[in-house]
Amino acid sequence: MDTGASSTINFRVNDGVATFSNGNTEIANFDLEGRLISYTKNGIAYRRTISNTFYKIGMEGNLKIIDSAAPSEGLSILERSYSLSREAVNVGNVAHDVEIARKVASRDLQWAESDSKSLLSLYSAIPVVPPDQPSALYLEITSGCKWNRCTLCRGYETRDYTTKSKDDFISHLEAVKDHYGSGLSYHKSVFLGDVNALDIDQKMLLEILDSIKAKLNFPVFTAFDIFTTPKKKNMINYRDLKDHGLDRVYVFLESGSYRVIRLFNKHINVTETMNLVNNIKDHGIGITIVVMAGIGGKKYSRDHVEATANIISQLALDKGDSVILSPIIESDDSNYLDISSKEGLSDMSLQEKYAQMDDLTSSIREAFRDVNGREMDIPIIKYDLRESAL
């Protein structure tokens, strides 16, 4: 990687992040143990995952373009980022928080590789967190997906669905906490995974939440699968979950259209899901609804937009809640492409998916206003779920 001309490196520590910058040309952000979080060069951002892979995030017009960086490019980013920290220390430009600067500058590629392997060994698979929670600390109580029949997804096919015992989870929590060390200050919340965390035994779930509060005192976010959870929890369950520290639930609605969701073996009772979301809201737990743009292709585009807007308009969403829109990424190794071809869906381009996200935004707000007689006062945010790999 071309690093450009050397100049004075600025250094600061803020809110658990150590930042080294070369003016506005280069910016490298680390946690306080020296793990690279992100690197920006000439306006192009790279986000590192815990497996030391990098996503390159840029804009082309109004389109967010996300690509996986080549392994060689990732190594160059790591090398350059640690070089920035060493330059700052060598020229004495670290008058404040000097010990933190020296710790970061002492790290190198070998340490980063060893640290990554050690952290990955604490999980059954590479963790995925919501795209709006990049600083979440991932803790694993379940592994795999209990439903695991969606033709859209191959992410859980090779894993059996398992649940840790309470003792195993507490050991896991301690191991993750110890591993991050002073880098824990970068994390502001816990995401309790995998995709079925709310589906476990209620008594144990409350004990798990209590242990997180006692040892970390972070707000806890989680997700549920909308196939089995509606049948297992009731209103008293959610009141107790709120009282024990559950802050927010991510609901992967994906589409409100029966025509669309049935294509992908998603046997969802939409009315049941709506009742579940409203029950959760009745007990003060935040909700984030996740919707996919492009799902169902051009064939079902109108139905997808209108049905999704209709459902969201009937949810008891208020300030603190949110809706996330993400373009669907058709994986070459999923069954989506086969189904799309068979059903004649006519897949959308990325530009068309972003146009649909605009359509979804306006349709959701219009439907909400018509049903509720007021403006929708929660954010509708565009993300790309590929930003979710931790």
Which CATH number characterizes residue 339's domain? 3.80.30.20
Question: Over pLDDT 70: what percentage of the chain?
Answer: 88
Same domain flag for 179 and 288: yes
Same domain flag for 85 and 155: no
Sorted by sequence, the CB contacts under 8 Å of residue 135 that are 6+ apart come out as: 186, 187, 188, 189
Query: Which of 154 and 388 is assigned the larger pLDDT?
Result: 388
Quote the mean pLDDT of the chain: 87
Domain presence at residue 352: yes
Burial of 236 (0-12, 13-18, 19+ CB in 10 A): exposed
Domain presence at residue 324: yes
Work out the average pLDDT over 329-341: 72
> What is the C-alpha separation between 9 and 6, in angstroms, rounded?
9
Question: Whole domain around residue 351: which residue ranges?
Answer: 122-388
**Which residue type occupies 270?**
V
Q: How many CA atoms lie within 13 A of 268 on its CB side?
A: 26
Work out the average pLDDT over 80-91: 92
Query: Which of 264 and 100 is assigned the larger pLDDT?
Result: 100
Domain presence at residue 5: no
Here the tokens at position 267 are 């046997």
Same domain flag for 256 and 195: yes
Domain presence at residue 86: yes
> Do 293 and 351 touch, CB atoms closer than 8 A?
no
Number of domain units in the chain: 2
Q: Residues for the chain: how many in total? A: 390
Cis omega (within 30 of 0) on the bond before 115?
no
Domain presence at residue 1: no
pLDDT digits (tens, 9 = 90+) for 269-321: 777 778 888 888 888 999 999 999 999 999 999 999 999 999 999 998 988 89
Instruction: Tell me the pLDDT band of 3, cut-offs 50, 70 and 90.
Output: very low
Same domain flag for 87 and 186: no
**Which residue type occupies 169?**
F
pLDDT digits (tens, 9 = 90+) for 22-67: 987 899 999 999 999 999 998 889 999 999 999 998 877 778 888 8
pLDDT of residue 223: 86
* Secondary structure of residue 341 in the 3-state scheme: helix
Same domain flag for 214 and 108: no
Same domain flag for 233 and 214: yes
Instruction: Tell me the pLDDT band of 230, cut-offs 50, 70 and 90.
Output: low
pLDDT of residue 33: 97
> What is the C-alpha separation between 280 and 248, in angstroms, rounded?
9
